[in-house]
Structure 1
Amino acid sequence: MTARRIPVIAALDAGTYYHHRTFRTPELAPCIDRKIYIRDLDGEALRGCDALIVSCRSNPDLLVPHRDLFARFLAAGKTLVAMGETHSERWLDSVRWTPSEVNFWWWKEPGADSGLRLAAPAHPLFSYLTLADATWHQHGSFEPPPGAQSLIDKAGAGSVLYEDRHSTPGRLIVTSLDPMYHHGSHFMPASSRFLRGFLPWLKDSTPVIDQDMACA
């Protein structure tokens, strides 16, 4: 009997202190199998990977030249995670983004309400984390493409986290949240809780795709 291959999760490393801390946090490190320095990203670096996390606040100027590589990765049926502050609208065809003013201290206001709502409370992700774990502040919101599923909405403004299994043969997860930045900055405890739920869910839910030719 052949053992089932465990999915390989890769993450881009932009050489920042917040990526460094995230990748070396003991409870998070087992969820990331391969770290790829952003300037070394190519088809060979992705060979054998089932999912790629484009980590928070990676420089979009270094991502845009890989637009076709990301498209081929998704076309091969693989999972791509576009995290916050990477300007994914610049390097992914289906992403529609609206920036907003950031209120870093909204919870200090009387009757404070983040505006975030679970859009799909029965989704398996929410067996791993809660809305509170995804609540700090937002930089903007997305308009999910037709067929995509918003997981967390910003009331009256769109989605801050959605999953798209419709636009490509793969799975695209897009969020405006930037948990690696805050976890690595020791700022916003919710962001650490988010990673402790999101990364295990990603590892558990990513299908194994033995197809690399489309990404080479």
Structure 2
Amino acid sequence: MTLAVLDGGTFYHHTAIQGPRFRSLFDHTIYMPELHTGQLDGVTVLIVTDHINPNLLRAHRDLLIDFAERGHTLVVFGENQAETWLPGVRWTSRPTNFWWWLDKDATPPNRLVCPDHDLFRAVPFADTIWHFHGLLAPPPGAQTLIDVPPDPEGRDDGGALLYDDRATTAGRLIVSTLDPFYHHGSNFMPAATRFLDSFLPWARELSRL
């Protein structure tokens, strides 16, 4: 019963995973290009960090899906082209406003859909908001946790920013467009660091269940 994380090998992955703030929370760190089946023995929660080379993820697609099919939890963060290798994922690009938080009157469209979900006993909703790169259409049976509602003028259908899917595989897929490892490791976007401050202990506890 352990928590493992995939390290894509970039400076921001190294800073986020190996830095003193979070490194003690991971039981295993796996360098993505060297991933093989034996490294997942005993792992119950595997985090696919954001901004990993999607060619590597596609090459290891069967291994990652098999991990979830064996009843484990696969957490997949954003900017990984998950729609090209993870079952049930449908993604639509949206313009990214990197600087909305500099406007004191800005109201981000992110909406908390499922406040009773156990994740939000650990993670404040405010710490899930920095920006987003696209929207997800959850597969049948998945539970949307955070979304962007449809445009009232009908120009945009909206979609999920985070969902919990216990229907597509025998295990659990937690899929998000958020990219906290990149932003924490780049020292850019304090909310992303606060998100990891609470999400990673939650994931560690989840791995022990």
Give the alignment's TM-score, normalised by structure 1: 0.89
Equivalent residue, structure 1, for 2:203: 202
Q: Which letter maps to 2:165?
A: D
Matched, 1:192 2:186: no
Q: Which residues in structure 2 correspond to 1:138-157 (within 5 Å)? A: 138-156=132-150, 157=158
Distance in structure 2 (CA, Å) of the matches to 1:31 and 1:167: 28
Distance in structure 2 (CA, Å) of the matches to 1:40 and 1:107: 38
Equivalent residue, structure 2, for 1:133: 127
CA deviation vs aligned residue, 1:118-176 (integer Å, no higher than 9, x gap): 11001111111112101100000101111111111112211101111111110100000
Q: Which residues in structure 2 correspond to 1:74-85 (within 5 Å)? A: 74-85=68-79
Q: Which letter maps to 2:142?
A: A
Distance in structure 2 (CA, Å) of the matches to 1:31 and 1:117: 29
Distance in structure 2 (CA, Å) of the matches to 1:110 and 1:155: 22
Residues 110 and 48 of structure 1: CA distance in aligned 2, closer, same or farther (over 3 Å): closer
Kindly tell me the number of residue pairs found equivalent between the two proteins. 202
Distance in structure 1 (CA, Å) of the matches to 2:195 and 2:164: 16
Q: Which residues in structure 2 correspond to 1:25-36 (within 5 Å)? A: 25-36=19-30
Distance in structure 1 (CA, Å) of the matches to 2:51 and 2:27: 20
Equivalent residue, structure 1, for 2:167: 166
Matched, 1:41 2:35: yes
Distance in structure 1 (CA, Å) of the matches to 2:184 and 2:114: 25
Unaligned runs of 5+ in 1: 1-6, 209-216
Distance in structure 2 (CA, Å) of the matches to 1:83 and 1:48: 22
Q: Which letter maps to 1:178?
A: D
Distance in structure 1 (CA, Å) of the matches to 2:110 and 2:43: 32
Determine helix, strand or coil for the equivalent of 1:20.
helix
Q: CA deviation at 1:110?
A: 6.4
Query: What RMSD over aligned residues (CA atoms) do the two structures have, in Å?
Result: 1.3
Distance in structure 1 (CA, Å) of the matches to 2:133 and 2:89: 15
CA deviation vs aligned residue, 1:47-81 (integer Å, no higher than 9, x gap): 22111111110000111011111111111001101
Distance in structure 1 (CA, Å) of the matches to 2:189 and 2:82: 23
Unaligned runs of 5+ in 2: 151-157
Give the alignment's TM-score, normalised by structure 2: 0.92
